[in-house]
Structure 1
Amino acid sequence: MRNALHPRTLVLCLASAIALTACNRAADAPTADAAPATSATATTPAPASTHAFVPGIAAGDFAEHVRVLASDEFEGRAPGSVGEDKTVDYLVAQFKRMGLEPGNAGEWTQVVPMTETTANKATLDIDVAGKSHALKFGDDMVIGTRSGQQHVEVKDSDVVFVGYGVDAPEQQWNDYAGLDVKGKTVVILVNDPGFHVDDPELFEGRRMTYYGRWTYKFEEAARKGAAAALIVHDDAGASYGWDVVRGSWSGAQFDLRASDDPAPRLPIQGWITGEQAKALFAASGQDFDALRKAANKRGFKAVPLDAKASGAIDSTVVEKSSRNVVAKVRGTGKPDEAVVYLAHWDHLGKHAEETGDNIYNGAIDNATGVAGIMELAGEFAKAPPKRSVVFLAVTLEESGLLGSKYYVAHPAVPLKDTVAAINIDAMSTSGPAKDMVVTGLGNSELDDLLKSITDKQGRVLHAEATPESGFYFRSDHFNFAKSGVPALYAEGGEDLVEGGTAAGRKAAEAYTEARYHKPADEFDPNWNLEGTVQDLDTLYQVGRTLADGDAWPNWRAGNPFRAARDASRADAGK
């Protein structure tokens, strides 16, 4: 069976890719005592490759990279595991074979300090009108901590419904206006104001802004001094089901050290199901549906509930490190300026607590992206351009884009000298398409360059089909964008040459339902890689044009990232 197009491109996807940028785990509550399980469908470990690589962007070479990286031997490529060691060794060996040089001040890797937190026990009780409600981890709620502490506890914390939990001065919107939430537990709706009533006049209509992301909501609650924050899940608002939330918040969770990411952090943060929210609001004498509707009106005032929350998490906390891999083709004319190609190498690892096939191989997500940048690296190495080209394989994407976040804070090439970033995350393996999807189409001048290439191919560009899902904020290009570097995130579309849109959507649904963030995301020798090669050639032409030229692409006027780009270029004196 062919694997599907990546589900980001499609209207009908119910569980979106990189949905929570966190590792899927077992559905049960966290436990420290689970016994290792043996894979029932283990494949033969990948031997040392005897593949004969050929010049050019080649389907066979691409497939070999994916086969090795997604083999059971690499154990799902979890950060800090033996799978990381094998992955880094393989990538460095391949870059050396192709003639690249170390890209990080003479080193092939960049160490990313991290904290691994594994919750051994997590409890949450909400006392409503004097009656205790114990919420079950996994079924009713999920909670975690980014504090780095072995024990965190919140006791008898007043509960306040703060609507969407947004403070956006430029939108004249502040759900925390006149409210002191220090020490309190805030309950928050997912997505942007206006989403649940389909109001195009609020924020950017159906297109999610960063205010709609769950990461922002926790960050803002922490800035306001809350003790805990709970987001109310709904499939439409989150763009993924509760099973994705439950899986992603179980097991070991990774984060940057607080010293490397000094923003405020909540002691306890998590999600509750929509059903639990309605029941708890009703027990408190409130109508959840009515309050959710009211929260979509400008001037909404937070509503205290007749409830107190008590939660506790006992965790094993270990200081570890992971690695970004950085390789470079040195420019012949302006070596200090660089175009960056990036893809995340990490996936969800091996889940010892699960029976059966418990290796999350991550073939599509994202061995394909890593294989893609390696094929591009070989092509650039044959004829180095004027500017340098950096190939960045980042870690900890599945844990919140942490590897790229660390790189942007400690770049091998200063951001003022970084021409553009081109991100590859989960490539299509369903054959050639008549279109390409650009997530965030219209934001930067890179779109014009891409269009000049796809026009010659007879392909059309269009934006992601579900902008309300916030895909723009869910992959590693976003950290470059926030820092002002124009970033392109484009992939093969859904209108397949063979079978059209219907075939593309069917393939995507099959991938989403059966393979996305599951052990079934494995290498398939029957993939149709003709379109994959075409997509890589397209992205190669974008990077080659930039690296051989003198242009400094920028964000469109009015884009929130343009000010950072303008400031960095002014600092460069150009």
Structure 2
Amino acid sequence: MITALFPALAAALLLTGCATTTPTEADGIAAAAPPPPGALKVETMKEVTRTLSSDAFEGRMPGSAGEEKTVAYLIEKFRAAGLEPGNKGRWVQDVPLIEITGRNFAPLTVKGGTQPMALEYGKDWVGVTYREEDRIAIADSELVFVGYGIVAPERNWNDYAGVDMRGKTAVILVNDPDYGADTLDGPFNGKAMTYYGRWTYKYEEAARQGAAAALIIHDTAPASYGWNVVESSWSGPQAYAQRGPNAPPLTLMNGWVQKPVAEQLLAAAGRSFPALAAAARQPGFRPVPLGLSVSTQFENVFRSFTSRNVIGVLPGTTAPDEYVMHTAHWDHLGRCTPTPDGDDICNGAVDNATGTAALVALAEAHKATGPARRGLVFLAVTAEESGLLGADYYAANPVFPLEQTVGGINMDAFVIAGPARDVTVVGPGKSELDRYLDAALAADGRVATPNPKPEAGYYYRSDHFAFAKRGVPMLYVDGGEDLVDGGRAAGEAVASEYTQNRYHGPKDEYDPAWDWTGVMADLALYYRIGRSLAATSDWPNWVPGDEFRAIRDRSCAAATTGC
């Protein structure tokens, strides 16, 4: 999972629409009717989550035997739920990928400072390549500290100003310059991370600058996850979308280095990490050559393969060419760094067998209710853990045209913590879908809570983002943090325990003792929202001024049908 795990870890702006009165049919919103009694089945959630996260599925790595079992199982469950094949008579959409596995990593050696250093792979640093080359060799590449690695002309910010990065290695801070702000005010939206704070952007920008390599300094707080997550996610096979002609440039290597190691490295260069970090937050920052060079090498093996998105649909009645989307990713990490007891299967029970199970449970409930005015699409995407690859491939090659896709709901990692009085929304205040959320919350007697960690940037870290950046409004709602049993302290404890002990590790396993009442309450909320969108003739848009509004407006203006 590249996105929010629990509300205490999710990124969001302050929710602006929660205090408004409940929207009505006059606002274009159909009544947020509850599902029929018994239509949402906890037995379905348990069965699908338990099955997908069992050792037999080997961690659901794309391109593995685990994928074969997963796709076959989801087709079986979609069919049994009453869905129809969603891709012109097929249940799947082929997603061409390439898997690159690095091996025989040499230490990352550092020369030129007060003393040479040899950084151990896995313990001190990790790195991968996106290039299809048998051997990667970086020899005496000059290190340049480039602050947050951002080039944002609209914000008058350029961390690469005045430096030629060709052949050099960029050393980059995680997050963006406003990290640690108390409010949402600032050149980079205050404490709410922008896309400039995401590692994906930083590597892309380093490549555009011509860098040979890019190393992000891992720091748990601004990254919002520990080194164990980096190590498990960035070692072993890495899947990428196959590159076509005229593809963007690539570095030789992208990687991470532990913060304490980076502090030692900078000290060897006669520099202070706190001083450089403070300077990087100021307008006018300029890159700092460190007088150090790094070298390493490793080998790669390649495997081209086709993974699959699984798609089912409940056709609409009077507006069959308009669609409401439901998304969740079926994949996880496969086999990963073993725990002391030898367990090396990252089962991904919470992340994201729960969200995949929700697709099946919601499909059953909507089928039990009967067809809606609009079509209801249930999309289980591949390769989210590799960078939203399945969702991005679908959004770039949509089965159902994006201008005919009304909007939808993304589900990633349900909170297994009992019922909550609230929900948390990733990216609230961005689109008119908030009106549907408001109506459903009011009908369920719950509230929305502003998220405590907008600095984590989770809006850019799950499958909804692939649709949002192409203009389709999507809701991403997390479970609540104000638990009925124990309040906010209990909710924070659940989130912390999961992140520290199970997230992206072998202990994210199914537990028969889980309390599913909170999950089922959230499912009922998603049902209300999806059913309302499917029943109305309304076309919700992004709010004026949102970064995705112009994209949607252009899409709608060019469409002959749909929005």
TM-score when normalising by structure 1: 0.88
Deviation string 1:363-404 (CA, Å, 9 cap, x unpaired) is 111111011111111122231111111100011111111110
How far did 1:132 drift?
3.5
1:362 aligns with 2:348: yes
Q: Does 1:202 align with 2:187?
A: yes
Aligned to 1:272: 257
| CA–CA separation in structure 1 for the residues paired with 2:204 and 2:159 | 14
Task: Work out whether residues 8 and 471 of structure 1, in 8 Å CA contact, stay in contact via their aligned partners in 2.
Answer: no
2:541 corresponds, among 543, 546, 554, to 554
Structure 2: stretches of 5+ with no match in the other structure: 12-36
Change (3 A) 1:507 1:237: closer
- For the 8 Å contact 2:479–2:522, the answer to whether it is kept is yes
Instruction: Measure how far apart 1:553 and its partner are.
Output: 0.9
Select 2:172's aligned residue among 174, 188, 191: 188
Q: SS of the counterpart of 1:195?
A: coil
Q: What is the rounded CA distance, in whole Å, between the counterparts of 1:82 and 1:490 in structure 2?
A: 32
**CA distance in 1: counterparts of 2:299 and 2:458, whole angstroms:** 33
Amino acid at match of 2:472: V
The yes-or-no answer on 1:97 pairing with 2:80 is yes
Query: Could you tell me whether the CA contact under 8 Å between 1:197 and 1:296 is conserved in 2?
Result: no
Match of 1:391 among 359, 362, 378: 378
2:271 is paired with a residue whose SS is coil
Say whether residues 1:286 and 2:271 are aligned partners: yes
Q: How does 1:357-436 map to 2 (within 5 A)?
A: 357-382=343-368, 383-436=370-423
Q: Which moved more, 1:377-386 or 1:469-478?
A: 377-386
In 2, the alpha carbon distance for the partners of 1:160 and 1:514 equals 35
Number of equivalences: 529
2-structure distance, mates of 1:452, 1:197: 32
> Quick one: distance in 2 between partners of 1:140 and 1:196?
25
User: Match of 2:32?
Assistant: none
Deviation per residue, 1:254-278 (Å, 9 max, x gap): 1111228923221111011222222
2:338 pairs with 1:340: no
Give me the whole-angstrom Cα distance separating, in 1, the residues matched to 2:509 and 2:390: 24
The answer on whether the counterparts of 2:338 and 2:506 sit within 8 Å (CA) in structure 1 is no
Corresponding position of 1:299: 284
User: Matched residue of 1:463: which SS?
Assistant: coil
Residue equivalent to 2:120: 136
Q: How does 1:502-513 map to 2 (within 5 A)?
A: 502-513=489-500
What is the distance in 2 between the residues matched to 1:404 and 1:260? Answer: 21
Deviations 1:332-360 (A, max 9, x none): 11212111101000112134977622222
| 1:68-217 pair list within 5 angstroms | 68-123=51-106, 124-129=108-113, 132-195=116-179, 200-217=185-202
Following the alignment from structure 1 to structure 2, what is the Cα–Cα distance between the partners of residues 527 and 243? 25
| Residues 1:570 and 2:554 aligned together | no
Letter of the 1:8 counterpart: F
Q: TM-score, normalised by structure 2?
A: 0.90
Three-state SS of the structure 1 residue aligned to 2:449 is strand
* Native 8 Å contact 2:82 2:363 kept in 1: no
State whether structure 2 residue 303 is matched by structure 1 residue 318: yes
- Measured in 2, the distance between the counterparts of 1:446 and 1:333 equals 22
1:216 aligned counterpart, secondary structure: helix
Question: SS at 2:352's partner residue?
Answer: helix
2:233, 2:403 → 1: CA distance?
A: 35
The residue identity in structure 1 corresponding to 2:342 is G
2: CA distance between counterparts of 1:118 and 1:235?
Answer: 26
CA distance in 1, matches of 2:214, 2:180: 20
Aligned equivalent of 1:478, options 457, 465, 474 = 465
Distance of 1:543 and 1:177 partners within structure 2: 47
Q: What's the CA shift for 1:131?
A: 5.2
Alignment-mate amino acid for residue 175 of structure 2:
N
Q: Which runs of 5+ in 1 are unaligned?
A: 1-5, 18-53
Partner Cα distance (1:498, 1:261) in 2: 55
> Counterpart of 2:132 in 1: which secondary structure?
coil
The amino acid of 2:410's aligned partner reads N
Deviation at residue 554 of structure 1 after TM alignment: 1.0
Which residue of the partner structure matches residue 28 of structure 2?
Answer: none
**In 2, Cα distance between equivalents of 1:261 and 1:114:** 17
CA contact (8 A) 1:7 1:509 kept: no
